């Protein structure tokens, strides 16, 4: 049987299963379109095999003419001929062979099993001469792109290779090939072991673009991608290259060197994970081959990957006349752990150490190609994005695991979440809706996520996830900042190509406009904008923080220490103290411009891998961009990324900004003072950038490090200049400044850097006091004596720090960089105080309807068992796995949890005489976690009649409320709707009864009520008791008989938030719906609070085996029709 879909996922077993997948795919498609959950594909394949074989024996055939012999001869020894069925024909016109291969009834392709292990199909040429080029390849009428084919000339035979991904059907009905050769030849289908590898074929264009192929072979054409990579391959733009030597040649040992470049192209803030490096040396006379080991580094070593020689693939050699050395190699980077990630247009620096020909002109002698994928794992793409028309802010998605895959993104702002659209595709993977789940961990209390299947087929699923409260879909639900959105994807057959995407719809919560605070200005000039209040730091673990460090020239001249090293070690100490927590850290630096050392976004330091990544980023802090301090650039760079706090380390004042009005430093033009003094626009722009940050909820914490000058005086502050520039750069009428004399020491030591530093004046107040600096209006007059014309007055360093934060929020680091570590350690300790977990049980007493009688009842005993080990502290400092506590006067029993992982706890209540536990909506407890003023539900599972199980997330505080009541006589009723599964019409002539597990109770009659068109119990049922619904007579309609329920439906009617609700038994759980069994509970618009409502869908006997029916544990194929009813209802619960 022919496969009617795209090729199967490439797994070890896929070739053996290829001939049966067509039938299985059709069956799966029908089931999935009906909303079916998990389809047991493998269980169906034996039957499909038989069907396939039968189909193949009756397939229509096409008779081909016999393959003719070559009409030309050669004096060379001919290559051996091979007999072949008449499925292959060839005609020659000039020097081009026209080959036609038909899929005849002799099954020449062996149902696709003739493909190689790399899924390349081969056509063998036998005869004299060689192939010179492939003109074109057409499969089933579709002309293939050159990337999909290539050829290799051999001594015994030549082979044309075609990529299986190019075919729409397998095997193709008809393949037509035009190939240019030097002599005529005969053609046959190659055996798998005769097919060249992808790398061998790449020299003639297979898998490569015109540009890339020309690097290897000027005749090569095709798409630039490694043959082993998926179709998501991205070619990166590279800036200018440079070469530096590491070691010289030594006999036969090649020299080693380093090629340096950077990532160019249009800026895109999205990770591209490097998958392949192609390196070519273009000098034809070079002696040494390109070879490994290869080391590739990003940004000086923030991310590094070492590739051993056996992982380097030879692409081409120079001719024997030119020494035969290797001149082109491919380095597979997909196995790097972790894969190096870059952003297009980011300017990320890339360095490659390698062995090769040595020095030369890097631009002309070396060609470098770098490729990547938007997601690690080659053809596996997982992403979470925000709706471009909304205002949701999300962190970059990260994917972990290997089937199942877990893709996580976090909300960078408090958000009104409306819905998420989930699209999953994996060609010819047998997808099932229940294999995918989406969760949000911090969503407002009382809200659950449900889903609606939009479309489903054998190789794609699309569904939406939306919030539900009180049983009804709501327009939006509040999600806390920092909440994790997690997509879990599982595949039954391990596909190679996966595309999973989540699009999140909603809006960031608009904070009320902040009333700006007035800023104190001595001269009352009001040149500074109002200051947005500094947000309080959220009291929770797992903050997202940015560490921003000043790396300008001044750090070279710190008092007695290496300020660069002190900054690095202090910041890394902070990271070490927070290691293991859920804190996320972004790393930035600035001088005249600003850079990020974590371009992929803030990195979680919960794992050692994350800790190392952040510390490597910090290690790259060295002097950059010279002698100016641009606060605006640094604060703007961290903006819009959802940080909770920015720790802003500087020993300078704002002397530069992004307005472009200041000339760059140039001694030859008399501009030595450019960027040396505080300028009004530079300070004003920094305040604006800080206001933007704070308005987005980011707390700004400046750490103002003391800077001492040559005389030992600490810089306490300086004049704020009214945008004054060096005289020679000032236009007519502008404010200018210049020196009045040469520097004299030690008289001028109070205004220049210490030690043997540059003789650069860096404090305008000291310079004016010593009559070294003068101010004037260009080409007019000197105005030094009239300070109001050139300065807004003196402003202290700490005050300027408060200008960008708030009163009292700037931290002065007295003693300079030697004391920076102490301040950062104190910050880390404060942040870590919130990184503890706790578990609390609260006892309430209610009446039988759930009305609160006593909140916080004392003297109730609860026993806890941690199945995660001895992590519970009952209050005495010891850790145990078992603990029993009694509620205090506030009705609370609490345990501290000491663990860096989620903790699973089992809770059992010791009931007092005369009391019973009252489940709410079937749950024995209501569990929540608090994050500041935000409360979110925590899932729990009932454990017996008076217990429950709950997982306490790492570094969170969970409270579970347990309610008890004194039972009185309480009775409820059941109202039942019987519906046709296909058209949802009401069925009226069935018969039911309700049975109890207690002897002597029931059966209770369930009678048809014409007015309501439902079935009702006459007798009153007990609340929270277990009953069984049994169908004793199946309905009929239009002369057709429906099927009985194959098993009783176990249910109970329990107290809910707005009256009583029906719960259905599903294994160990009680649920409000079992879509797979055609059961759900939905109240009418007008309902009786003392009545539970249940809907049961049914199918006609013609739609299913007569012995079958609808039951809770229904076999999956039988349930297909009933699940259509569930799909029509549009209610699908999300499961992880």
CATH superfamily for 971-1133 is Immunoglobulins (2.60.40.10)
Determine if residue 17 is left, alpha or beta; phi over 0 gives left, psi from -120 to 50 gives alpha, anything else beta. Answer: alpha
Tell me, what's the pLDDT at 1076?
72
Q: What is the mean pLDDT of residues 845-859?
A: 89
Nearest-angstrom CA–CA distance, 1009 and 239? 79
CA gyration radius for the chain? Answer: 37
Tell me, what's the pLDDT at 76?
37
- Given a cut of 60, is residue 38 above it in pLDDT? no
Tell me, what's the pLDDT at 1099?
66
Q: Report which of 215, 220, 67, 198 is spatially closest to residue 134, judged by C-alpha positions.
A: 220
Question: Residue 23 gets which letter from DSSP?
Answer: H
Helix axis angle, 563-578 to 820-832, nearest 10°: 10
CA angle 17, 19, 25 (to 5 degrees): 80
Instruction: Give the start-to-end residue ranges of the domains of the chain.
Output: 1-59+403-509, 88-216, 234-373, 544-832, 837-965, 971-1133
3-state secondary structure of 335: coil
Tell me, what's the pLDDT at 62?
33
Chain segment 48-61, per-residue pLDDT in tens: 333 322 333 222 33
Listing DSSP states for 593-659 in one string gives: SEEES-TT--EE-SSHHHHHHHHHHHHT----S-S---HHHHHHHTTTS--SEEEEEESS-----SS
Q: What is the mean pLDDT of residues 563-571?
A: 91
Q: Is the peptide bond before 871 cis (omega within 30 degrees of 0)?
A: no
Is 837-965's fold the same as 971-1133's? yes
In the chain, pLDDT over 90 holds for what percent of residues? 31
Q: For the chain, what percentages of helix, strand and coil (3-state, to nearest 5) are there?
A: 15, 40, 45
The pLDDT confidence band at residue 241, using thresholds 50, 70 and 90, is confident
Q: Given strand 773-777, what is the order of strands in its sheet?
A: 725-726, 735-739, 773-777, 781-782
**Assigned CATH topology for domain 88-216:** Immunoglobulin-like (2.60.40)
Chain segment 71-116, per-residue pLDDT in tens: 333 333 344 444 344 689 999 998 899 999 988 877 888 877 888 8
Buried b (16+ CB within 10 A) or exposed e, 435-452: bbbbbbbbbbbbbebbbb
Q: Which two tokens stand for residue 73?
A: 């001869």
Tell me, what's the pLDDT at 1122?
40
Q: Which two tokens stand for residue 945?
A: 């009649």
Tell me, what's the pLDDT at 58?
29
- Given a cut of 60, is residue 1085 above it in pLDDT? yes
Tell me, what's the pLDDT at 512?
61
CA angle 1036, 1037, 1042 (to 5 degrees): 45
Chain segment 445-489, per-residue pLDDT in tens: 889 899 888 888 878 889 999 999 888 899 999 999 889 999 999
Query: What is 234-373's CATH number?
Result: 2.60.120
Q: What is the mean pLDDT of residues 236-242?
A: 86
Per-range mean pLDDT, top range of 846-850, 1104-1108, 1131-1135: 846-850
Q: Which two tokens stand for residue 49?
A: 């095999």
3-state secondary structure of 503: strand
The pLDDT confidence band at residue 341, using thresholds 50, 70 and 90, is confident
Tell me, what's the pLDDT at 1038?
82
Tell me, what's the pLDDT at 30?
35
For the chain, the maximum distance between any two Cα atoms, rounded to a whole number of angstroms, is 113
The count of C-alpha atoms lying within 13 angstroms of the C-alpha of 881, restricted to the half-sphere facing its C-beta, is 6
Tell me, what's the pLDDT at 78?
41
Q: Find tokens 């036998």 and name the residue.
A: 126
Listing DSSP states for 917-976 in one string gives: E--BTTBS-EEEEEETTEEEE--EEE-SSSEEEEEE-TT-EEEEEEEEE-----EEEEEE
The pLDDT confidence band at residue 348, using thresholds 50, 70 and 90, is confident
- Given a cut of 80, is residue 738 above it in pLDDT? yes
* pLDDT mean across residues, the chain: 79
The count of C-alpha atoms lying within 13 angstroms of the C-alpha of 784, restricted to the half-sphere facing its C-beta, is 16
Chain segment 513-549, per-residue pLDDT in tens: 555 666 665 554 678 888 999 999 888 888 999 999 9
Q: Report which of 1010, 1074, 1087 is spatially closest to residue 1047, judged by C-alpha positions.
A: 1074
Question: CB count, 10 Å around CB of 1062?
Answer: 30
3-state secondary structure of 473: strand
Tell me, what's the pLDDT at 112?
74
Between residues 674 and 143, the one the model is more confident about: 143
Nearest-angstrom CA–CA distance, 1078 and 1113? 11
Domain 837-965 architecture: Sandwich (2.60)
Q: Which two tokens stand for residue 929?
A: 């976690």
Between residues 1000 and 540, the one the model is more confident about: 540
Nearest-angstrom CA–CA distance, 682 and 234? 40
Strands (E), 63-119: 88-93, 96-102
Burial of 830: CB neighbours in 10 Å, binned 0-12, 13-18, 19+:
exposed
Per-range mean pLDDT, top range of 186-195, 750-759, 1081-1090: 186-195
Tell me, what's the pLDDT at 626?
61
Q: Report which of 1110, 1133, 1124, 1129 is spatially closest to residue 1047, judged by C-alpha positions.
A: 1110
Q: Of 291-300, 520-529, 650-659, give the lowest mean pLDDT range.
A: 520-529
Element housing 199 (H / E):
helix 198-202
Tell me, what's the pLDDT at 428?
64
Tell me, what's the pLDDT at 99?
94
Tell me, what's the pLDDT at 755?
64
Chain segment 948-995, per-residue pLDDT in tens: 999 998 888 999 999 998 877 667 889 999 988 778 888 888 999 888
Listing DSSP states for 987-1041 in one string gives: --S-EEEEEESSTT--PEEEEEETTTTEEEESSPEETT--EEEEEEE--EETTEE
Bridge partners of 703, per DSSP, are 649, 811
Tell me, what's the pLDDT at 779?
82
Tell me, what's the pLDDT at 434?
65
Per-range mean pLDDT, top range of 553-567, 869-883, 1037-1051: 869-883
Burial of 302: CB neighbours in 10 Å, binned 0-12, 13-18, 19+:
buried
Chain segment 361-392, per-residue pLDDT in tens: 776 778 888 888 876 654 677 889 888 888 89
Chain segment 876-893, per-residue pLDDT in tens: 889 999 999 999 999 999
Nearest-angstrom CA–CA distance, 307 and 288? 19
CATH number belonging to the domain at 544-832, selected among 3.40.50.410, 2.40.30.60, 3.40.50.11540, 3.30.1330.50: 3.40.50.410
Nearest-angstrom CA–CA distance, 606 and 693? 26
Chain segment 690-716, per-residue pLDDT in tens: 999 999 889 999 999 998 888 888 899
Nearest-angstrom CA–CA distance, 982 and 1128? 9
């Amino acid at each position: 049987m022919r496969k009617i879909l795209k090729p199967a996922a490439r797994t070890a077993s896929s070739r053996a299963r290829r001939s049966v997948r067509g039938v299985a795919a059709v069956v799966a498609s029908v089931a999935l379109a009906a909303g079916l959950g998990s389809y047991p594909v493998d269980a169906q394949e034996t039957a499909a095999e038989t069907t396939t074989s039968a189909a193949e024996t009756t397939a229509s055939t096409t008779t081909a003419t016999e393959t003719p012999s070559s009409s030309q001869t050669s004096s060379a020894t001919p290559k051996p001929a091979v007999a072949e069925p008449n499925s292959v024909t060839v005609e020659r016109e000039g020097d081009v062979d026209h080959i036609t291969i038909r899929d005849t009834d002799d099954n020449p392709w062996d149902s696709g099993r003739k493909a190689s292990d790399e899924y390349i199909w081969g056509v063998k040429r036998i005869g004299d001469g060689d192939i010179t080029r492939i003109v074109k390849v057409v499969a089933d009428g579709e002309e293939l792109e050159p990337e999909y084919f290539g050829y290799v000339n051999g001594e015994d035979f030549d082979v044309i290779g075609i990529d299986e991904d190019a075919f729409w059907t397998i095997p193709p009905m008809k393949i037509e090939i035009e190939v240019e050769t030097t002599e005529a030849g005969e053609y046959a289908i190659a055996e798998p072991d005769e097919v060249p590898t992808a790398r061998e074929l790449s020299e003639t264009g297979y898998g490569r673009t015109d540009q890339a192929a020309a690097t290897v072979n000027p005749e090569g054409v095709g798409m630039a991608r490694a043959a082993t990579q998926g179709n998501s391959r991205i070619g990166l733009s590279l800036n200018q290259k440079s070469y530096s030597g590491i070691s010289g040649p030594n006999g036969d040992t090649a020299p080693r060197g380093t090629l340096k470049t950077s990532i160019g192209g249009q800026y895109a803030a999205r990770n591209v994970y490097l998958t392949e490096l192609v390196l070519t040396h273009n000098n034809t006379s070079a002696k040494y081959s390109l070879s490994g080991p290869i080391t590739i580094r990003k940004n000086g070593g923030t991310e590094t990957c070492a590739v051993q020689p056996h992982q380097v693939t030879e692409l081409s050699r120079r001719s024997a006349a030119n020494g035969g050395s290797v001149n082109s190699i491919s380095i597979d980077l997909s196995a790097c752990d972790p894969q190096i990630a870059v952003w297009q247009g980011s300017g990320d620096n890339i360095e490659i150490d390698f062995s090769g020909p040595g020095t030369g002109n890097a631009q002309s002698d070396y060609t470098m190609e770098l490729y990547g994928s938007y997601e690690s794992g080659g053809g596996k793409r997982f992403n979470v994005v925000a709706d471009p028309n909304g205002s949701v802010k999300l962190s970059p998605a990260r994917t972990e695991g290997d089937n199942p895959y877990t893709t996580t993104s976090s909300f960078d702002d408090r958000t009104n979440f409306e819905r998420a659209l989930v699209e999953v595709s994996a060609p010819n993977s047998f997808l099932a809706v229940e294999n995918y789940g989406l969760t949000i961990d911090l969503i407002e209390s009382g809200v659950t996520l449900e889903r609606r299947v939009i479309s489903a087929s054998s190789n794609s699923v699309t569904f939406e996830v939306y919030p539900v409260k009180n049983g009804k879909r709501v327009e939006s639900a509040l999600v806390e900042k920092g909440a994790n959105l997690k997509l879990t994807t599982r595949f039954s057959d391990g596909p190679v190509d996966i595309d999973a995407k989540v699009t999140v719809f909603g809006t960031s919560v608009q904070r009320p406009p902040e009333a700006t605070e007035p800023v104190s200005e001595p001269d009352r000039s009001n040149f500074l904008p109002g200051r947005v209040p500094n947000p309080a730091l959220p009291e929770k673990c797992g903050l997202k923080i940015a560490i921003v460090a000043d790396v300008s020239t001044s750090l070279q001249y710190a008092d007695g220490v290496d300020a660069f090293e002190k900054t690095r070690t202090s910041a890394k100490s902070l990271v070490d103290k927070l290691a293991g927590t859920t804190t996320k850290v972004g790393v930035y630096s600035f001088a005249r411009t600003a850079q990020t050392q974590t371009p992929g976004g803030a990195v979680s330091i919960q794992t050692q891998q994350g800790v190392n990544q952040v510390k490597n980023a910090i290690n790259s802090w060295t002097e950059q961009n010279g002698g100016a301090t641009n606060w605006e650039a640094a604060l703007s760079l961290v903006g819009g990324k959802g940080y909770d706090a920015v720790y802003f380390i500087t020993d300078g004042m704002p002397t530069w900004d992004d307005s472009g009005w200041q000339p760059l430093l140039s001694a030859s033009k008399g501009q030595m003072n450019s960027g040396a003094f505080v300028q009004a626009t530079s300070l004003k722009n920094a305040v604006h950038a800080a206001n933007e940050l704070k308005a987005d909820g980011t707390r700004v914490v400046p750490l103002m490090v003391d800077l001492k000058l040559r005389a030992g005086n600490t810089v306490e502050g300086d004049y704020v200049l009214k945008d004054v520039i060096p005289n020679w750069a000032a236009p007519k009428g502008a404010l200018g400044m210049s020196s009045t004399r040469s520097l004299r020491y030690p008289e001028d030591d109070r205004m220049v850097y210490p030690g043997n530093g540059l003789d650069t004046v860096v404090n305008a107040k000291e310079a004016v006091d010593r009559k070294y600096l003068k101010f004037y209006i260009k080409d007019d007059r000197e105005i030094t004596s009239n300070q109001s014309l050139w300065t807004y007055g003196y402003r202290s360093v700490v005050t300027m720090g408060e200008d960008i934060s708030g009163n009292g929020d700037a931290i002065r680091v007295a003693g300079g960089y030697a004391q920076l570590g102490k301040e950062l350690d104190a910050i880390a300790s404060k942040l870590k105080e919130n990184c503890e977990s706790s578990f609390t049980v609260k006892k309430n007493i209610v009446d039988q309807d759930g009305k609160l009688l006593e909140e916080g009842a004392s003297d109730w005993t609860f026993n806890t068992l941690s199945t995660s080990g001895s992590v519970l502290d009952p209050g005495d400092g010891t850790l145990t796995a078992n603990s029993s506590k009694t509620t205090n006067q506030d009705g609370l029993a609490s345990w501290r949890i000491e663990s860096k992982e989620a903790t699973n706890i089992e809770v059992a209540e010791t009931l007092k005489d005369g009391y019973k536990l009252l489940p709410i909506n079937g749950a024995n407890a209501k569990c929540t976690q608090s994050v500041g003023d935000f409360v979110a539900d925590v899932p729990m599972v009932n454990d017996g009649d008076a217990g429950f199980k709950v997982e306490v997330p790492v570094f969170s505080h969970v409270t579970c409320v347990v309610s008890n009541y004194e039972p009185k006589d309480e009775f409820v009723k059941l109202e039942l709707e019987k519906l046709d599964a296909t058209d949802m019409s009401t069925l009226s002539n069935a018969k039911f009864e309700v049975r109890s597990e207690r002897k002597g109770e029931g059966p209770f009659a369930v009678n048809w009520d014409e007015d309501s068109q439902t079935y009702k119990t006459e007798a009153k049922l007990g609340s929270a008791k277990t009953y069984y619904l049994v169908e004793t007579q199946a309905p009929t309609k239009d002369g057709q008989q429906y099927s009985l329920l194959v098993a009783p439906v176990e249910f109970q009617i329990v107290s809910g938030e707005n009256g009583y609700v029906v719960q259905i038994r599903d294994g160990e759980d009680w649920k409000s719906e079992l879509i797979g069994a055609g059961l759900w509970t939905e109240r009418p618009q007008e309902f009786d609070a003392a009545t539970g409502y249940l809907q049961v869908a049914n199918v006609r006997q013609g739609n299913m085996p007569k012995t079958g029916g609808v039951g809770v544990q229904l076999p999956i194929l039988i349930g297909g029709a009933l699940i259509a009813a569930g799909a029509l209802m549009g209610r699908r619960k999300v499961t992880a």
